């Protein structure tokens, strides 16, 4: 039994799933489900279809060049059975899987970092808008409310409210 | 799933190019032929100057089908077209070469000669 990869989306095909298609030049295309099979029949290029691993790796959304992928590469040289080799390979498999997952997470974090910082800032501004504008002022005049684009924020501080906050701080 | 009136490509060098199925051999009134079933077909298209001519009635075995076969390991294997190999009464191929991949099921149906001639058995 061998776990193959879907030709279209690159997910693992477990036994009992999917369809295999043999072209007349004897090339086998394996699909994990009918979604991938139908996309193939429509002659779609997986490198252009956004949800496939091929697209994601090509467009830098996911880790693609890494030493941990070398283990899964197909080798056509048959290995003589050696008990120690098998045991070591099994241990290596688990460890390399862990390392690969960590590296993929790191890659994702790095990719999201820029956007995450902006999002955090936006949240902070929304929560603490009372430091910038008094809430009573916002209620009285809703036009003073936060605009959708955060580039320019008009700050109106009224003397009465400022005095109150100063009193609270004391 | 080959049925009557189905056109099949010919996968050997017997001279015929296309066959049309006119009967499926087997027990009962079989509606469909799968890989390994023998069919009776009429030659619809042939290469000139070979021993098989157009509108000759021949026996053929379905070598690969678009519908494909289901294997015991849960695998469905479908091919690019419906192809047949022309055989004689004993089940030996009439041609000397086979083109294209064939399904491994032919071995179970005792078409060992076809399997040995085929460039690719999948």
Residue B93 has a pLDDT of 94
Task: Confirm if B77 and B63 have CB atoms less than 8 A apart.
Answer: no
> For an interface test with B, which of A20, A28, A33 has the most B Cβ atoms less than 10 Å from its Cβ?
A20
B71-87: pLDDT as tens digits: 998 999 999 999 999 99
Residue A76 has a pLDDT of 85
The token pair at B106 is 């032919």
Compute CA distances A140 → A135, B119, B121, whole Å.
9, 84, 81
Residues listed for chain A: 170
Contact between chains at A22 and B80 (C-beta distance less than 8 A):
yes
The token pair at B4 is 């009557």
Residue A103 has a pLDDT of 94
B84-109: pLDDT as tens digits: 999 999 989 999 999 999 999 999 99
Query: How would residue B2 be classed by pLDDT, with cut points 50, 70 and 90?
Result: very high
Residue A1 has a pLDDT of 79
Distance CA A122, CA A115 (A): 11
The residue with greater pLDDT, B16 or A123, is B16
Residue A159 has a pLDDT of 61
Q: CB of B28 within 8 Å of any CB in chain A? A: no
Residue A59 has a pLDDT of 94
Contact between chains at A26 and B122 (C-beta distance less than 8 A):
yes
Q: CB of B96 within 8 Å of any CB in chain A? A: no
Contact between chains at B75 and A15 (C-beta distance less than 8 A):
yes
Average pLDDT estimate for B4-18: 95
Residue B110 scores a pLDDT above 70: yes
Which positions 21-60 of A are in contact with B (Cβ < 8 Å)? Answer: 21-24, 26, 28
Q: What are phi and psi of B43, to 5 degrees?
A: -75, 120
Contact between chains at A20 and B75 (C-beta distance less than 8 A):
yes
Nearest CA in chain A to B75: A16
Distance CA A91, CA A73 (A): 17
Q: CB of B84 within 8 Å of any CB in chain A? A: no
Residue A152 has a pLDDT of 61
Distance CA B80, CA B20 (A): 18
Q: CB of A2 within 8 Å of any CB in chain B? A: no
Chain A contact set for B75 (CB, 8 A): 15, 20
DSSP for residue B104: T
Distance CA B43, CA A110 (A): 65
Average pLDDT estimate for B20-42: 94
Q: What is the DSSP string of A16-84?
A: T-SEEEE-TTS-EEEESSHHHHHHHHTT--GGGSTTSHHHHHHTTSS--S-GGGGTTS---SPPPP-HH
Question: Digits of tens for pLDDT over chain A (170 positions)?
Answer: 789 999 999 999 999 999 999 999 999 999 999 999 999 999 999 999 999 999 999 999 999 888 888 888 888 888 899 999 999 999 999 999 999 999 999 999 988 887 667 778 888 888 888 787 777 776 776 666 666 665 565 677 666 554 455 555 55
Residue A68 has a pLDDT of 87
- The sign of the torsion formed by the CA atoms of A95, A96, A99, A105 equals negative
Residue B3 scores a pLDDT above 80: yes
Which positions 103-162 of A are in contact with B (Cβ < 8 Å)? Answer: none
3-state secondary structure A104-122: HHHHHHHHHHHHHHHHHHH
Q: CB of B80 within 8 Å of any CB in chain A? A: yes
Query: Residue B100's closest CA among B46, B64, B48?
Result: B64
The residue written with tokens 């619809």 in the block is B44
Chain B contact set for A26 (CB, 8 A): 100-101, 119-120, 122
B34-59: pLDDT as tens digits: 999 999 999 999 999 998 999 999 99
Neighbours of B5 (CB within 10 A): 8
The pTM of the full predicted model, rounded to 2 decimals, is: 0.75
The token pair at A40 is 């193939």
Nearest CA in chain A to B72: A16
The residue with greater pLDDT, A156 or B1, is B1
Nearest CA in chain B to A1: B73
Residue A114 has a pLDDT of 72
């Amino acid at each position: 039994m061998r776990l193959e990869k879907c030709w279209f989306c690159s997910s693992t095909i477990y036994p009992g799933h999917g369809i295999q298609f043999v072209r007349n030049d004897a090339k086998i295309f394996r699909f994990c489900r009918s979604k991938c099979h139908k996309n193939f029949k429509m002659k779609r290029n997986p490198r252009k279809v956004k949800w496939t691993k091929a697209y994601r790796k090509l467009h830098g959304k996911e880790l693609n060049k890494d030493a941990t992928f070398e283990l899964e590469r197909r080798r056509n040289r048959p290995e003589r059975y050696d008990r120690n080799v098998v045991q070591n390979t099994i241990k290596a498999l688990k460890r390399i899987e862990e390392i690969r997952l960590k590296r993929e997470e790191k890659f994702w974090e790095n990719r999201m970092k820029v956007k995450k910082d902006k999002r955090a800032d936006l949240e902070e501004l929304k929560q603490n808008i009372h430091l910038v504008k008094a809430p009573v002022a916002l209620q009285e005049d809703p036009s003073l409310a936060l605009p959708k684009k955060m580039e320019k924020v008009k700050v109106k501080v009224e003397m009465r409210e400022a005095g109150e906050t100063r009193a609270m701080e004391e | 799933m080959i049925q009557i009136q189905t056109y099949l490509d010919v996968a050997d060098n017997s001279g015929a190019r296309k066959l049309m199925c006119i009967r499926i051999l087997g027990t009962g009134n079989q509606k469909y032929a799968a890989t390994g079933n023998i069919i009776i077909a009429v030659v619809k298209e042939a290469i000139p100057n070979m021993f098989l001519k157009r509108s000759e009635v021949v026996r053929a075995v379905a070598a690969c089908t678009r519908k494909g076969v289901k294997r015991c390991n849960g695998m469905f294997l479908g091919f690019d077209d419906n192809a047949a190999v022309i055989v004689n009464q004993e089940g030996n191929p009439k041609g000397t070469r086979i083109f294209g991949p064939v399904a491994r099921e032919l071995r179970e149906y005792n078409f060992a000669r076809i399997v040995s001639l085929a460039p690719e058995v999948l």
